[in-house]
Chains A and B, each alone.
Chain A
């Protein structure tokens, strides 16, 4: 009896070092954020500098604030717009370059290269692409017959799309690498058998490739979703969240509230909302995927 109980300690000891770091840098700050979100603390107001307990007032105020609701709306558009698009395109790229053609190495490099750029450099390059009149993006578009507004980063209807385009351009190549690795790990004999049985390309994709890549997809959707919530560097460079808040997303707003408004309580409440959103997605993504696996 005693041997059994002590032996079960081994795995806990093995994860102890990781646990210490996760506890110190993830779990503790999370608990701390939840705690401070129930307090009013504003560092730039002398009499609110010391925290006062106010219950859920920070949350109530946030959900009655049209600015915050607009930020949530922008965030959903941003995430739902960039994540599926970049994953689908990443798969298409991976599928296209996963074959033996001359020069395929260059094509892979071409698709992958935005990934190795820091986000700030990528955004700076795109700032020049987006320049009205002579920017590369606008001249290309107008050659394709586009006649709409060219002021991508200053137009309230285009600014969010502009930062989404940059995120898409930056990430599709990154996710492609995971799919490429997944595709190259697939067994050849299954496909050969399928071809012998007369399966079309679409049938091969639908009944062999997609199911076998499910774990890759789970991984890619998870990191893509979390990444979409976390990447705001390009917004600092391209639009500063503007014009009039049109391209402000959750994490950027969190930064503004914490460091421009110096409102610790409200910033903590936004942090909790952000963590909750990420948890809801990640857990449901895992559960959906696991259920499919069982079925």
Chain B
């Protein structure tokens, strides 16, 4: 009797292990089969024309390319088109685009794969500011080796807008190249400005006064705000105020922040003044990132501070002339902005031949032609300066001159906030900046506390 049970138990275990191994195979199958099924078609179309007498082309390398979608544009379709053109030019490489949520999701997905010992994608688009965390986690490879092999390395690198390259260098290496990039701009309702006889603001004071003049009240109710300035996730939109005040919150060092600098405190105070002194903006933290472009396009507010990536959506909705300009600075005729968005990285965990293939894909994607096309179809700023000399781009900015304004704001841009231990330091800054915005602490107290906590968090990273 007991032998029979032992037999049953053993057979059950066998069945179990069989099912488990089958599951493993089922999930692996698509990845290994894909090249095999696609190879014959490639070989049939490409091989006879290009290399009729040489040996048949080697098994193509398949690389994964993770990308997030952070704007309202058909990124997936656009990328698919580029990949088809790339594969036609490079029959020995297959690119498998993988949509992976937002920036945070993409980062999480890749880091989880690396933690679990799995192979990461060969290339991915992640925030430019993720640099230090990625390097410290030993997740990415520097691109210098590839760049040094280029004949036109300097021309290539110098053609990217310098502001977009600010977060690519660390420890003497270049780690990423710009791909989908934006900056912070001020959108203003040019019709309302004209009606009120106002010029686009050229200083904080002019800005506050214009916002005040354009605020409409019906008794106690505000029917139109002069300005909406989202602060639910505040560091990015705050940076132009700090830069315009004379001191960015971050410098060249990866372990220094300037939260309690008097200029930064003045910038915090100016944000509060827009509500308390000019009465032109809702009080406190405004968690309205998503609604702000709609509020602006529908006339609920005369101005918003927002990403250049929202330009297309705003132009589609607005029935007035939309003005776009950099953020006014404290002194007359000074301006400020800050870049944002994602760069492309190559991952260390991918085999060498996949890394090499990823590099070829990156150089393909960053060609001026594709930078221009990507900008036209998404609203992102073209990352290459020469993209703006192309006919397609010229025709586009003829139609949408605001697209040039988003590019021109870059010349006033400072470095986007990125330091070691970014998640923690950014959280500290957010907490205290919002406390100041909400009046729970004075700007001086809040920024002093933020500086103290940030210094403590950064201490282990200092040499």
Give me the interface of A with B, judged by CB distance under 8 Å.
Answer: 2-3, 5-6, 9, 13, 16-17, 20, 43-46, 48-49, 124, 127-128, 131-134, 149, 151, 153-156, 238-240, 242-245, 256, 259-262
Minimum Cβ distance to chain A for residue B345 (Å): 15
Interface residues in B385-433 by Cβ distance below 8 A to A read 420-421, 423-424, 426-427, 430-432
Q: A242-B232, A260-B427 are in contact. List 7 more A-B contacts (CB 8 A).
A: A3-B1, A6-B1, A49-B138, A134-B300, A151-B286, A245-B431, A256-B427
Q: Identify which of A16, A127, A154 gathers the most chain B CB atoms within 10 Å of its CB.
A: A154
Residue in chain A with minimal CB distance to B436? A244
Minimum Cβ distance to chain B for residue A85 (Å): 24
B27 on interface, CB distance cutoff 8 Å: no
Flag if A262 contacts B288 (CB, 8 Å).
no
Interface residues in B94-129 by Cβ distance below 8 A to A read 104, 107-108, 111, 115
Minimum Cβ distance to chain B for residue A288 (Å): 38
Minimum Cβ distance to chain B for residue A148 (Å): 13
Minimum Cβ distance to chain B for residue A42 (Å): 8
Residue in chain B with minimal CB distance to A149? B284
Flag if A240 contacts B233 (CB, 8 Å).
yes
Residue in chain B with minimal CB distance to A9? B5
A35 to B2, CA, bound (A): 38
Residue in chain A with minimal CB distance to B104? A259
User: A43 touches which one: B111, B222, B432, B440 (CB < 8 A)?
Assistant: B111
17 A/B residue pairs, CB under 8 Å, sorted by A: A16-B12, A45-B421, A127-B290, A133-B221, A133-B222, A149-B284, A151-B285, A153-B232, A154-B232, A154-B284, A156-B285, A243-B285, A243-B287, A244-B440, A259-B111, A259-B423, A262-B111
Interface residues in B1-47 by Cβ distance below 8 A to A read 1-2, 5, 8-9, 12, 16
User: Which residues of A sit under 8 angstroms from B167, Cβ to Cβ?
Assistant: none
Flag if B460 contacts A45 (CB, 8 Å).
yes
A2 to B3, CA, bound (A): 11
User: A131 touches which one: B138, B288, B437 (CB < 8 A)?
Assistant: B288
Please name the 3 residue pairs, one residue from A and one from B, whose CB atoms are nearest each other, closest first.
Answer: A260-B423, A154-B285, A243-B434
Minimum Cβ distance to chain A for residue B432 (Å): 7
Flag if A128 contacts B291 (CB, 8 Å).
yes
- Per-residue contact bits, chain B 126-163, to A (CB 8 Å; 1 contact, 0 not): 00000011001110000000000000000000000000
B367 on interface, CB distance cutoff 8 Å: no
B369 on interface, CB distance cutoff 8 Å: no
A238 to B291, CA, bound (A): 12
Flag if A44 contacts B133 (CB, 8 Å).
yes
User: Which residues of B sit under 8 angstroms from A244, Cβ to Cβ?
Assistant: 430-432, 434-435, 438, 440
Minimum Cβ distance to chain B for residue A270 (Å): 15
A290 to B27, CA, bound (A): 44
Supposing A6-B1, A17-B16, A20-B16 touch, asked if A154 and B231 sit within 8 A by C-beta, the answer is: yes
User: Which residues of B sit under 8 angstroms from A151, Cβ to Cβ?
Assistant: 282-287
Flag if B5 contacts A240 (CB, 8 Å).
no
A242 to B427, CA, bound (A): 10
B320 on interface, CB distance cutoff 8 Å: no
Q: Identify which of A2, A16, A48, A151 gathers the most chain B CB atoms within 10 Å of its CB.
A: A151
Flag if B424 contacts A260 (CB, 8 Å).
yes
Minimum Cβ distance to chain A for residue B319 (Å): 19
B461 on interface, CB distance cutoff 8 Å: yes
Interface residues in B195-247 by Cβ distance below 8 A to A read 221-222, 231-233
User: B420 touches which one: A6, A44, A134, A256 (CB < 8 A)?
Assistant: A44
Flag if A131 contacts B438 (CB, 8 Å).
no
User: Which residues of B sit under 8 angstroms from A132, Cβ to Cβ?
Assistant: 282
Q: Identify which of A44, A131, A132, A260 gathers the most chain B CB atoms within 10 Å of its CB.
A: A44
A48 to B191, CA, bound (A): 57
Supposing A13-B9, A49-B137 touch, asked if A259 and B427 sit within 8 A by C-beta, the answer is: no
Minimum Cβ distance to chain B for residue A265 (Å): 13
User: Which residues of B sit under 8 angstroms from A134, Cβ to Cβ?
Assistant: 300
Flag if B423 contacts A262 (CB, 8 Å).
yes
User: Which residues of A sit under 8 angstroms from B440, Cβ to Cβ?
Assistant: 156, 244
Q: Identify which of B104, B108, B438, B440 gathers the most chain A CB atoms within 10 Å of its CB.
A: B438
A261 to B136, CA, bound (A): 12
User: B108 touches which one: A16, A154, A259 (CB < 8 A)?
Assistant: A259
Minimum Cβ distance to chain B for residue A89 (Å): 27
A149 to B287, CA, bound (A): 14
Q: Identify which of A2, A238, A245 gathers the most chain B CB atoms within 10 Å of its CB.
A: A245
Minimum Cβ distance to chain A for residue B425 (Å): 10
Residue in chain B with minimal CB distance to A48? B460
User: B133 touches which one: A3, A48, A262 (CB < 8 A)?
Assistant: A262
Flag if B232 contacts A6 (CB, 8 Å).
no
User: Which residues of A sit under 8 angstroms from B286, Cβ to Cβ?
Assistant: 151, 154
A156 to B431, CA, bound (A): 11
Minimum Cβ distance to chain B for residue A260 (Å): 3
A191 to B438, CA, bound (A): 56
User: B8 touches which one: A13, A49, A154 (CB < 8 A)?
Assistant: A13
Minimum Cβ distance to chain B for residue A15 (Å): 12
A127 to B287, CA, bound (A): 9
User: Which residues of B sit under 8 angstroms from A6, Cβ to Cβ?
Assistant: 1-2, 5
User: Which residues of B sit under 8 angstroms from A239, Cβ to Cβ?
Assistant: 232, 287
User: Which residues of B sit under 8 angstroms from A43, Cβ to Cβ?
Assistant: 111, 115, 133, 136-137
A242 to B282, CA, bound (A): 17
Flag if A44 contacts B2 (CB, 8 Å).
no
Residue in chain A with minimal CB distance to B138? A49
A43 to B104, CA, bound (A): 16
A154 to B433, CA, bound (A): 12
User: Which residues of B sit under 8 angstroms from A48, Cβ to Cβ?
Assistant: 460
User: B287 touches which one: A5, A20, A45, A242 (CB < 8 A)?
Assistant: A242
User: Which residues of B sit under 8 angstroms from A124, Cβ to Cβ?
Assistant: 290
A238 to B136, CA, bound (A): 31
Interface residues in B271-287 by Cβ distance below 8 A to A read 282-287
A13 to B9, CA, bound (A): 7
Flag if B1 contacts A45 (CB, 8 Å).
no
Q: Identify which of A13, A46, A155, A261 gathers the most chain B CB atoms within 10 Å of its CB.
A: A261
Flag if A242 contacts B285 (CB, 8 Å).
yes
Residue in chain B with minimal CB distance to A132? B282
User: Which residues of B sit under 8 angstroms from A20, Cβ to Cβ?
Assistant: 16
Minimum Cβ distance to chain B for residue A61 (Å): 12
Q: Identify which of B233, B287, B431 gathers the most chain A CB atoms within 10 Å of its CB.
A: B287
Flag if B287 contacts A154 (CB, 8 Å).
yes
User: B136 touches which one: A45, A155, A260 (CB < 8 A)?
Assistant: A45
